[in-house]
Amino acid sequence: MNTREYPSVRDLWEERAALWADREFLVHEDPDTSKVERYTYARMDREMKAAASMFASLGVEAGDRVGLHMCNRPEFVECFLALAAIGAVVVPIGPASTAAECALVVEECGIRVLVSEFPEDSWRLEGVAVVCLDDGSYEAMKADRAGAPPPRPEVRPGDLLEIMYTSGTTSRPKGVMFTHANAVFSGKYVAWELSLSEADRYLTTMSVTHVNLQLSAFMPAVYTGAALVLVRRYSASRMWSQVRRHRATVIQAMAMIVKTLMAQPVASGERDHSVRAVHYFLPLPKGTKEAFEERYGVRLLNNYGSSETLVGVVTDLPDGRSKWPSIGLAGPGYDVRIAGENGSALPPGECGEIQVRGQAGVSLMAGYWRDEEATRAAFTADGWFRTGDCGYADAEGWLYFVDRMGDIVKRAGENISACEVEVAILEHPDVADVAVLGISDSIRDEAVKAVVVPKPGRRLTAEDVQDFLSLRLSFFKIPSVIEFRDGLPRGEYGKVLKNQLKTQKSTI
């Protein structure tokens, strides 16, 4: 398996747009306004070509990085396809990111053009051209270039397509690099995983800036001709009516979505729908899973992966085979093993690190942006990707997820680096020490908790810390639970014993 086996995203899109010009490609709904927009392949092709010409007029060339800072909206799809067409590199930035977080990504990637929902004067980014979506600038600039053919440089499958920043176990997020081959491989893989076809309608509320939507929904839709139903934001009270109204056959979900849908009042006719599969990420308690499937008359297809592995590398099978709470079997293009501390494969039943082997730039990320050291550290000497997650396999090869080996808090689908939050809190002049950890949350899977040690003689409140962080971190990274102590429990080598913090009471 190598990059030459796959076309570029541009070549794939051109083929599909020519083949399926009049077929519905994208449906977008804004739950706050109830506005629905529909795009055929032909319409999206026109819009993305106008966007490509606009980017070229701004001086964007092959290899240049362009930031896309927006929520779920059709313009993200237009820009993604447009940048892929001219060989530029997509850098998605979450809409909840603060100015400081955005500035970090802009600087590290050398971004000179940023498409955003916010006007240029709210950014104060020197040397960066900001194209605003909501003041009419974006549409006006596209209209000026309508009909102008965009440049068509050589774009190869192994060329860089995207840099996606994701939280890791360090204080700074890392830029995961995806090639064109990565994206097309993902489309083909998920088409297999979900038995996806042109007859399907795939509804998602996941964020367009995240890997789950891009590589497990958007690219599979392009690959197969399925219609992508993109909802601007998740609303528990509206989602199931959206699923029924748009005749969705496949939907994406995570623990928060399942739990909040179960909390909704039972509606007349809620089992009258077209859903054949719920593409789900990581297990639920057996009782919750069974209650959800029984109530809504659906099947959860479980799978496990990360940004670095692109898709659900371990998955239930498309023929219906599963062993809940197993996360599944290794899919095509991947090998998976459970490794001990010495790196050797462990026998069935023994718990160790889940490690994945694939082809870099095809079935695995191409590496971390400008961080060769982190890229090397992510792989074993014999080429296995270290997930940092703990699990085990049974005698038949089914894999089971146990816990995270690193300090990642998983809150409502967001991966939050505990270290990143700790570094931000330590910037407060009254803080002497801090530890951040995830605690159980019945709705969001995990909540962010901070245990703070004030400097001697200083007094702090939870509101003081949260207000301080509000200008430094996205809202979902800010701890919802803050506890104050005289000190932190530490082990022999100074490592904070976070397990004790989950059970001990405050010392202040």
What is the structure's pLDDT at 322?
93
What is the structure's pLDDT at 298?
96
Longest dimension (CA), the chain: 71
- 161-171 pLDDT tens trace: 999 998 654 45
Cβ within 8 Å of residue 243, ≥6 positions away? 203, 251, 273, 275
Asked if 455 and 431 touch (Cβ cutoff 8 Å), the reply is: yes
What is the structure's pLDDT at 239?
97
Q: How far apart are CA 178 and CA 189, in angstroms?
A: 15
What is the structure's pLDDT at 284?
75
**Does residue 408 have a pLDDT over 90?**
no
**Does residue 16 have a pLDDT over 90?**
yes
Asked if 113 and 83 touch (Cβ cutoff 8 Å), the reply is: no
**Looking up tokens 């799978």, which residue turns up?**
303
In which band, very low, low, confident or very high, does the pLDDT at 458 lie, cut at 50, 70 and 90?
very high
For residue 379, give the DSSP letter.
Answer: B
Q: What are phi and psi of 300, to 5 degrees?
A: -85, 125
Averaged pLDDT, 466-491: 92
Averaged pLDDT, 409-436: 88
How many Cβ atoms are within 10 Å of 297's Cβ, its own excluded?
12
Average pLDDT, the chain: 92
- 315-325 pLDDT tens trace: 999 999 999 98
Consecutive H or E run containing 452: strand 445-454
Asked if 99 and 126 touch (Cβ cutoff 8 Å), the reply is: no
Q: Could you tell me what percent of the chain has a pLDDT over 90?
A: 77
Burial class (CB in 10 A: 0-12, 13-18, 19+), 463: exposed
- 267-283 pLDDT tens trace: 999 999 999 999 998 76
pTM of the model: 0.85
What is the structure's pLDDT at 172?
74
Asked if 447 and 458 touch (Cβ cutoff 8 Å), the reply is: no
What is the structure's pLDDT at 169?
45
Task: Extract the tokens encoding 351.
Answer: 């718990």
Exposed e or buried b per residue across 324-358, where buried means at least 16 C-beta atoms within 10 angstroms of its C-beta: eebbbbbbebbebbbbeeeeeebeeeeebbbbbbb
Q: How distant, in Å, are the alpha carbons of 77, 91, 151, 197, 496 from that of 138?
A: 14, 18, 19, 33, 49
> Structural domains in the chain?
408-501 (3.30.300.30)
In which band, very low, low, confident or very high, does the pLDDT at 398 lie, cut at 50, 70 and 90?
very high
What is the structure's pLDDT at 390?
85
Averaged pLDDT, 325-351: 94
- H-assigned helices in 37-73: 41-57
Averaged pLDDT, 367-390: 95
In which band, very low, low, confident or very high, does the pLDDT at 194 lie, cut at 50, 70 and 90?
very high
- 115-143 pLDDT tens trace: 999 876 677 788 899 999 999 999 999 99
What is the structure's pLDDT at 286?
81
**Does residue 494 have a pLDDT over 60?**
no
Q: Which of 219, 217, 222 is nearest to 248 (CA)?
A: 217
What is the structure's pLDDT at 2?
67
Q: Identify the residue with better confidence: 439 or 334.
A: 334
How many Cβ atoms are within 10 Å of 483's Cβ, its own excluded?
17
Helix (H, G, I), strand (E, B) or coil at 500: helix
**Does residue 407 have a pLDDT over 80?**
no
**Does residue 34 have a pLDDT over 80?**
yes
